[in-house]
Structure 1
Amino acid sequence: MCGIAGVARIDGNDLSQEADGLLSAFAHTLAHRGPDDRRLLREGPVGMAFNRLSLVDPNNGAQPLVSADGKVVLIVNGEVYNHRELAAGLPGVRLSTGSDCEVLLPLYQRDGLRFLDRVNGMFAFVLWDKERRLLLLGRDRFGIKPLYFHRDRARVVFASEIKALFADAATPRRLDWNRALGEYDMNATPGFAHGRVTTWFEDIELVPPGVIVELSLKDGASKEHRYWRLPDPDAASETSDEEYAARFRDLLVSSVADCATADTDLGLFLSGGIDSAAVAALAPGGTLRTFTALTPGTVLNGDARGGRRTAELLGLPNHQVLIGSERVPSPQEWRDLVWLGETPLVGPEIFYKFELHRFARQNFPEIKGMLLGAAADEINGGYIPQFAGEGGDWDDFEANLRDLYRRQALQRNPKFGHWWEHDGVPLLNDAAIDPGTPYADDPYRGYFAWQYRTLEQYNVWHEDRTAAGMSTEARVPFLDHRLVELVARIPARRRAALVWDKRIVREAMKGVLPEEIRTRPKGYFFYGDGARHTNRFLTRLLAQDGAELLEQALATENARRFLSADGMRTALDRLTRSPNTENVELLLRLVNLGLLDGMTAQLPAPPAEAAPRPRPVELTVTDWEREQDDIVARVAAEPELSRTVPYALADNVLLVTAPALPDTWFVAVDGSFEYEISAADDAAWLALLQALDGDALTLPDALAKAGVEFEAVAELFREALAVGLVTAQPAEREPAER
């Protein structure tokens, strides 16, 4: 991993000596991405800055790289995994360094813009063709490595991170509020999101994945050359399920071997799921250090225990990194993390992963690369069962996709709404609503393309930043383009058998992983059984120190124009009484937007100079079965519930039954039956809910009215508070403003 940046004149002129200061500022801002070496180059119209983290050939891989004839100059952030194979196909070419990226120079000189067609790796590069007076900016097929740029009529500036561009006084520093608030990943609206991702800032562009941007240094003219795109399904394929799984296994073996190639030590983030376990099992050497997040969610849903068990079965050292319910970052820590991430989507997952990287780097500084199981869910169907709904199957998943597509199409063409359904009977075909879409006949292709975009907007974006923040390179074996192409080409008739709940991965790992790992259900960092702890963590984060983060987010002129200060304060006040996952995450994203807006006006220190944080610690576990109660108490401590605050069912909650089912009660939320309660099996819980139905009572009074002991309902009561079924009632009217 490296940090690359630079500036070029695109009006036919050369850079002046003043550009040297700008190049130094770029390199200084990106110091965290490459602490091992720093090089600056200014020649004619082009200036380049390079910060190196050396994983391959540490002593002989400095950049910029220059072709043998001196006509082409190159800086690259990333790895070319098949560089030896590519070099072998260049007879008569002698490379001058051990850098895996140098092979790109003779490839370009031979193949022109087709030079990336056979390259396998993760990379972002800037190439200067002196003879043709061209500047090329390009990225790998999935955008694993970032490259941003801003251009005007006279010049272009480019960098691995947006914050480096802001070191240039001529680059605008304006948050793109309108686009940010409409971004699907930002507002948690399910939908087929396609097209280019947002950079969150006005006039800051991101080189698209699988694309080379060509800029003329003579007149600024630009072109885009797409060298890769997602393939279409192969309807004619006669490949069997077994053959697909075998091919997937072979490609994953190759990809893991590629990603594990380094001249320094590597580590692995190990969860309890099959993805990171597969990488661990296939990684060569057998001495990989593994790191598992010990959060309330991963402890309560069994994921952390599963990670430890996987390490035991594979004979790998495992470090359980304690990130308990009491670990709430300070406002300064959170601002630094948002600035490092450069995205309002910073949340619990990004915080937990950064803590893992901090622990690994501080305790094992020889580890410079981290293997991840990331992206397997998005590409191989890990989230499909969720889209099918509880108890749903593949047919339900496809029906829900069609419904989602239809609703989005009707939003774009509302005049068709009346005609599509009349008296419960559809009168128009789905394709008629939005004939321009390529996915009307196959919504799954739209889903796959949506997941591909999400990878760039969220997954690889934050995996890069959290690793780079600790001078570590993230490596993602599941984002080998050969693997993704294989899955994308699966014909429609084979999808249910291969991509429901990642079946292709599970089948591929037969005989490679122990069965208890291969068949283990997916776990989560912070959802599931630990959701209430995550809710409380985020609420405490926002409420601490007089709601410092929220108030700072509201401090800029633009924030006050777009955000309702009274509404956000009231929302936080409600959350402190009854945290809710969806509501608190949405509020946090708005706070993050406001923080980013403020930080662009007054730039924080570079990440390498960020304020110190508490040192992460490891919880040593010798026997999980015997120590489980102590582990839960240490990681997922429950706060004391107030005995003086009144509680009641939320305003949108009804407790109902039917004469025909006298022993069954239902909890309706917003008019929809969400929970079923058996009067025989859950008598204590039903009695407490009945006591709180219509009356606001303190907990002792409610328990006395119901005639139950708290121990009998404690877990359910805490869960009801977490999801908002029961709310703490304000002692007086809610505050409207401060």
Structure 2
Amino acid sequence: MCGIVGVCGISRARPTEASTLRAMLGMIRHRGPDQFGIYLDDWAALGNARLSIIDLKTGQQPISNEDGSLWIVFNGEVFNHVELRQELEARGHRFSTTSDTETVLLAYEEYGPACLSKFNGQFAIAIWDTRRRSLFLGRDRLGVRPLFYTRTGDTLIFGSEIKALLAYPGIQAELDPLAMDQIFTYWSPLSPRSCFEGIHELPPGHFMRLEDGRIRIEPYWELRFPEEGSLPLRTKGEYADELRDLLIDATQVRLRADVPVGAYLSGGLDSSTIAAIIRHHTASPLETFSISFGDPGFDESEYQTQMARHLGTQHHVVHASHADIGRVFPEVVWHAEIPILRTSPAPMFLLSKLVRDKQFKVVLTGEGADEFLAGYDLFKEAKIRRFWAARPDSTFRPGLFNRIYPWISGLARGGGSYASAFFGMGLEETGSPDYSHSIRWRTTARTKRFFSEDLAERIGVAMAAEGHGLAYPSGFGQWDPLHRAQYLEISVFLSQYLLSSQSDRMAMGHSVEGRFPFLDYRMVEFCNRLPPTLKLRGLTEKFLLKEISREWLPPAITDRPKQPFRAPIHRAFFNDTPPDYLEELLSPGAVRASGCFNPVAVDHLVAKLKLGQGLSETEDMALAGIISTQLVERQFVSGFRPSPPLDESDDVKTVLRQGASTEEQPCP
């Protein structure tokens, strides 16, 4: 796992100094502190910060093909590189390393952009063709690994994180008002937008080609589901056997590494299944890692300990107190590079530190099972609402929400009138494409009442010019309702928020690579073809996964109700030891200076907390969003401070070609 950066002239030569690449790489050294590499010529500059996991001796980047006409920097892993290497050798290619990076490069040389469809992995790729003066950027199907870009004049600048782009001379960050509106609705901007004006992400499943002065972006993979009622007839046992075999293989190939590999253990079904497969179907030693909370409303340590004992793993736990979450929150935002409406990334940041402290660089986790096998309560909620919509006068049907949300206090008050009022909004609009998510998005959007008049006005102008940005694929209306809900959850929540703010960024903040068997593209495409009743049967989530997991897990894990991963919000900031940055950050003067929020409304929210009054869920989200936006504005806009650039003490491989700057000389 690594971080990459680059600069490229669009229609003419744009020589880049090595010092610029050193500054950009200095911003992301946390992604790859082991080695660094720079390639420079008169048109292009590539840089890499390496976290060495595969081919520790000869895998240092940048790497070239046999004749030196192609150069690559690469962030990620291609887990089927062993098989691809054999295929490429049979076609006459000769390798000088055993790294997957070289396999990626030679696959591109052999197949061009079509190589991306052959990769089973998580990646962001940059390849420079010195003969054609062509730059190729590619990103994995679901967006596990980030890749951002911007342009200034005739120059394209790209990198794994936005902060690397800001180290390029003349690039400055300004919050994008439309992105702010999207974040405070969907929890993230909609791809390709970032939260900063003029800075974009390469969307998941896409590649970019820069050649002959033109930039072209195209998809190579799309998230698709079959038309409703078109699935082939197969038995439950046949589907179960295929799921079991795929999941075992997806887990096994993700253990390919030249360093030890651990596993997260949340105490839930997904991570427990992955850990059990490692224990039962590989010879790999296993150490597991968990988070415990002092707040019993969020703690799952009882199940984590039970599962660790069941598997016999060496188990490690980090304790996340309210004060711990508030203390690390500025670091969390620095790595996330975006306002966040949850504090859940903070415990994940603490967990990755524990992993690194125990000398691990790689962990397997259970992300993706809830999205692709219908594990979230949101899917049940949408199913109940459709059931209720068929008899909107029913007094029994709204009561089903108590079965899926027993932890929401007061849901049954007033004889169920509260549930009826809340979940009944838009009840009969079952043909709406966002039916499954409309309540969540409407609830989140209430946080925008804290916006300043100026920001609200700028949002209105942007929306009039561009629209809101949420689009639906062709054929969406012909999919099963569950599949429509899954599409929205995967394309918006998983790809844009979860895999970024809560996963890649929090792990790589401590130089840890996460690997996700449930996101193996073969698993993804198989799950998308599963009949909905094998994912959500009645109100039983992840039905087929539970069936196959009984082979490995105790009933206390397979049969326990789904508990969403959450972390305390207002108590993380307003407690016996509030973080020292909080009072000044939320002061009327600081809020007014950032220009995003109404100082009076924020002051009322703070006063409510100081009086010890509880907050609604919307107010809790608003608080996290306000604090994190204030931090983003301070860290990246008004107070951006570059990290130290690479210096002579860093292990830097430098390749100079074709009239590049002589500031540095090639390594021997």
Shorter-chain TM band: 0.7 to 0.9
Q: Distance in 2 between matches of 1:516 and 1:408?
A: 35
The reply to whether residue 247 of structure 1 matches residue 242 of structure 2 is yes
Q: Deviations over 1:418-447 (max 9, x none)?
A: xxxxxxxxxxxxxxxx99974334443331
Q: What's the CA shift for 1:405?
A: 5.6
Secondary structure, in 3 states, of the residue corresponding to 1:78? strand
Conservation of the 8 A alpha-carbon contact between 2:325 and 2:346: no
Match of 1:229 in 2: 222
Closer, same or farther: CA 559–58 of 1 in aligned 2, 3 Å = same
Conservation of the 8 A alpha-carbon contact between 1:553 and 1:595: no
Q: Deviations over 1:345-388 (max 9, x none)?
A: 163211101111112222x12x1112111121122111123444
The reply to whether residue 461 of structure 1 matches residue 523 of structure 2 is no
Conservation of the 8 A alpha-carbon contact between 1:122 and 1:140: yes
2:560 to 520, 535, 543: 520
1:442-481 superposed matches below 5 A:
442=479, 443-453=481-491, 454-462=493-501, 463-481=503-521
Conservation of the 8 A alpha-carbon contact between 1:233 and 1:492: no
Match of 1:276 in 2: 271
Q: What's the CA shift for 1:522?
A: 1.9
Closer, same or farther: CA 128–569 of 1 in aligned 2, 3 Å = same
1:391 to 394, 400, 421: 400
Q: What's the CA shift for 1:556?
A: 6.9
Q: Distance in 1 between matches of 2:472 and 2:326?
A: 49
Match of 2:608 in 1: 574
The reply to whether residue 178 of structure 1 matches residue 178 of structure 2 is yes
Q: Distance in 2 between matches of 1:594 and 1:464?
A: 22
Conservation of the 8 A alpha-carbon contact between 2:365 and 2:515: yes
Match of 1:75 in 2: 73
Secondary structure, in 3 states, of the residue corresponding to 1:329? helix
Q: Distance in 2 between matches of 1:148 and 1:407?
A: 29
1:296-375 superposed matches below 5 A:
296-297=294-295, 299-300=296-297, 303-330=300-327, 333-345=328-340, 347-362=342-357, 364-365=358-359, 367-375=360-368
Conservation of the 8 A alpha-carbon contact between 1:286 and 1:315: no
Q: What's the CA shift for 1:197?
A: 5.3
Q: Which amino acid is the alignment partner of residue 39 of structure 1? A: G
Q: What's the CA shift for 1:479?
A: 0.7
Closer, same or farther: CA 194–602 of 1 in aligned 2, 3 Å = closer
Conservation of the 8 A alpha-carbon contact between 1:3 and 1:33: yes
1:614-653 superposed matches below 5 A:
none
Match of 1:39 in 2: 37
Q: Distance in 2 between matches of 1:380 and 1:591?
A: 34
**How does the TM-score come out when normalised to structure 2?**
0.78
Closer, same or farther: CA 289–408 of 1 in aligned 2, 3 Å = closer
Larger Rg: 1
Conservation of the 8 A alpha-carbon contact between 1:176 and 1:202: yes
Conservation of the 8 A alpha-carbon contact between 1:292 and 1:308: no
Q: What's the CA shift for 1:559?
A: 2.8
Q: What is the percent sequence identity of the aligned residues?
A: 29
Q: What's the CA shift for 1:512?
A: 2.4
Match of 1:591 in 2: 627
Q: Distance in 1 between matches of 2:189 and 2:482?
A: 13
Secondary structure, in 3 states, of the residue corresponding to 2:354? helix
Q: Distance in 2 between matches of 1:167 and 1:49?
A: 13
Match of 2:590 in 1: 555
Q: Deviations over 1:626-672 (max 9, x none)?
A: xxxxxxxxxxxxxxxxxxxxxxxxxxxxxxxxxxxxxxxxxxxxxxx
Q: Distance in 2 between matches of 1:88 and 1:448?
A: 36
Q: Distance in 2 between matches of 1:479 and 1:126?
A: 22
Secondary structure, in 3 states, of the residue corresponding to 1:61? coil
Q: What's the CA shift for 1:271?
A: 1.0
Secondary structure, in 3 states, of the residue corresponding to 1:108? helix
Report the count of equivalent residues: 566
Q: What's the CA shift for 1:161?
A: 0.5
Match of 1:718 in 2: none
RMSD: 3.2
Q: Distance in 1 between matches of 2:495 and 2:645?
A: 25
Match of 1:614 in 2: none
Match of 1:536 in 2: 571
Conservation of the 8 A alpha-carbon contact between 1:273 and 1:521: no
Closer, same or farther: CA 39–195 of 1 in aligned 2, 3 Å = closer
Secondary structure, in 3 states, of the residue corresponding to 1:278? helix
Unaligned runs of 5+ residues in structure 1 are 413-433, 528-532, 610-738
Q: What's the CA shift for 1:114?
A: 0.8
Secondary structure, in 3 states, of the residue corresponding to 1:23? helix
Conservation of the 8 A alpha-carbon contact between 2:231 and 2:529: no
Bigger relative contact order, structure 1 or 2, given CA contacts below 8 A and separation 6+?
2
Q: Distance in 1 between matches of 2:39 and 2:218?
A: 27
Match of 1:203 in 2: 198
Q: Distance in 2 between matches of 1:174 and 1:500?
A: 45
Q: What's the CA shift for 1:399?
A: 12
Q: Deviations over 1:140-184 (max 9, x none)?
A: 10110111010134111111100111101222311113321233x
The reply to whether residue 603 of structure 1 matches residue 640 of structure 2 is yes
Match of 2:13 in 1: 13
Q: Deviations over 1:94-130 (max 9, x none)?
A: 2110111211222222212211112101100101122
Closer, same or farther: CA 398–146 of 1 in aligned 2, 3 Å = farther
Match of 1:118 in 2: 118
Conservation of the 8 A alpha-carbon contact between 1:293 and 1:320: yes
Q: Distance in 1 between matches of 2:499 and 2:569?
A: 23
Q: Which amino acid is the alignment partner of residue 309 of structure 1? A: Q
Q: Which amino acid is the alignment partner of residue 38 of structure 2? A: L
Q: What's the CA shift for 1:51?
A: 0.8
Match of 1:489 in 2: 529
Q: What's the CA shift for 1:68?
A: 0.6
Q: Deviations over 1:596-628 (max 9, x none)?
A: 12222222454999xxxxxxxxxxxxxxxxxxx
Q: Distance in 1 between matches of 2:221 and 2:496?
A: 18
Q: Which amino acid is the alignment partner of residue 294 of structure 1? A: S
Q: Deviations over 1:685-720 (max 9, x none)?
A: xxxxxxxxxxxxxxxxxxxxxxxxxxxxxxxxxxxx
The reply to whether residue 377 of structure 1 matches residue 374 of structure 2 is no
Closer, same or farther: CA 399–508 of 1 in aligned 2, 3 Å = farther
**Farther-moved stretch of structure 1 (144-153 vs 494-503):** 494-503
Conservation of the 8 A alpha-carbon contact between 2:179 and 2:190: no
**Farther-moved stretch of structure 1 (600-609 vs 340-349):** 600-609
Match of 1:152 in 2: 152
Closer, same or farther: CA 345–101 of 1 in aligned 2, 3 Å = same
Q: Distance in 2 between matches of 1:250 and 1:559?
A: 53
Q: Which amino acid is the alignment partner of residue 548 of structure 1? A: E
